Every structure is written in structure tokens, then in C-alpha cells.
Amino acid sequence: MSFIEWIRQPWPWYVSGPLIGLTVPILLLLGNKSFGISSSLRHICAACFPANIPFFKYNWKKELWNLFFVTGILFGAIIASNLLGNYQPIQLNPKLVSDLNKYGITDYARLIPTQLFNWPALLTLKGFIMMIGGGFLVGFGTRYAGGCTSGHSIMGLSNLEWPSLIATICFMAGGFIMSNLILPFILQL
């Protein structure tokens, strides 16, 4: 098996998890930096749209490294999807396939079901709730919690921060409630 074939395969959790976890001590050792993605939007807004809003009045240049980090994630994703893409259908649990088939979702060729996430679907009630409403709730929750799942669950828990433990518990509870109680209702619309 060549290197390219090997890297195209899905990596198990016991390889990818520790690699993600190693970002915490590396960032701390390289300059006492905190890992998080949602703060980069604040930095972009402060840099590109200077206004007299107190939330955006800070020295965003001090956090410039975060914008380079997010840019690296973007270019890494573009390179990986174009050069290292695994174009085999995604392997799903048979019970999940059965549950999704009940809602008319049968296309599993991509990461997200194209029957739900496409431009024409956005103009339906179901699509509006899932894309616009879901995006609003994610943005509101991230701001309300003072950070995103990566910031709290990876960085905050590693630093034994009590608010991050509470936020992570709420993220997980919200995910379980959404996937098991609310999403089936929305998919029936």
C-alpha cells in the first residue's frame, strides 16, 4: 500500500484523537495560546469592519496567529478534499441507514445527505429550519457559552476549566436531544 493510499483511509480514533489532543500542549508551549475556532470570526470582524462596538474594540493583531491557524485549516481541507478524497460511499451503521430510509434519505455518497442539504431544500420549511435555524442556534450557543466545542471540549477540559466542563456537558446533552427527539420531528415535515 502506497503512502497516498494509506493516508486516504479513515484514521481510527486512537490515532486522530491523540493528534488533535496534542494541539493543546503544543499551543501552550509555543506561546501560551488557547485553541478555539469561533474566536477567529470575532478577529475577522474586528479587523475588517472597525466600528464603535465595544465587543470589537480590542487589539485583534495580538490574535493574528489564530487567523493563520484557521487559514491553514481551510487550505488543509481544500487540499485533502481534492487530492486525498476517498470517493467510496460512507460506511454507516445499518440501524442508522434503516432509520434514515424511513425519512426518505437514501443517498449516503457524501458526508452530508444531499437530499437535505442543497439549494432547493433551503427554500422548504425543513431546509430553512435545519440550515438557517440550526446555524443561528449554533452561533448563539457559541457566543452564549463563550466558545465553541473545540475550544471548550479540547482546550478548556485539558486546562481543567469548570465552565468548559459545564459547556461540554450542555453541548453533549443538546446533541443527544436534537438527534433523538427534535431531528426526527423535523425530518417528518
Average pLDDT score, the chain = 87
pLDDT reading at 82 higher than 90: no
Q: CB burial class (10 A; 0-12, 13-18, 19+) of residue 35?
A: buried
In angstroms, the Cα distances linking 109 to 7, 71, 86, 89 are 20, 27, 11, 4
For the stretch 7-49, pLDDT in tens is: 877 788 899 889 888 888 888 888 888 877 888 888 888 888 8
pLDDT at 165: 95
pLDDT at 163: 92
d(CA 137, CA 181): 16
131 vs 1, higher pLDDT: 131
pLDDT at 74: 92
pLDDT at 51: 79
For the stretch 124-170, pLDDT in tens is: 888 889 889 989 998 898 888 888 888 898 888 888 999 999 999 99
φ, ψ for residue 63, nearest 5 deg: -105, 20
* Domain chopping of the chain, boundaries: 1-85, 116-189
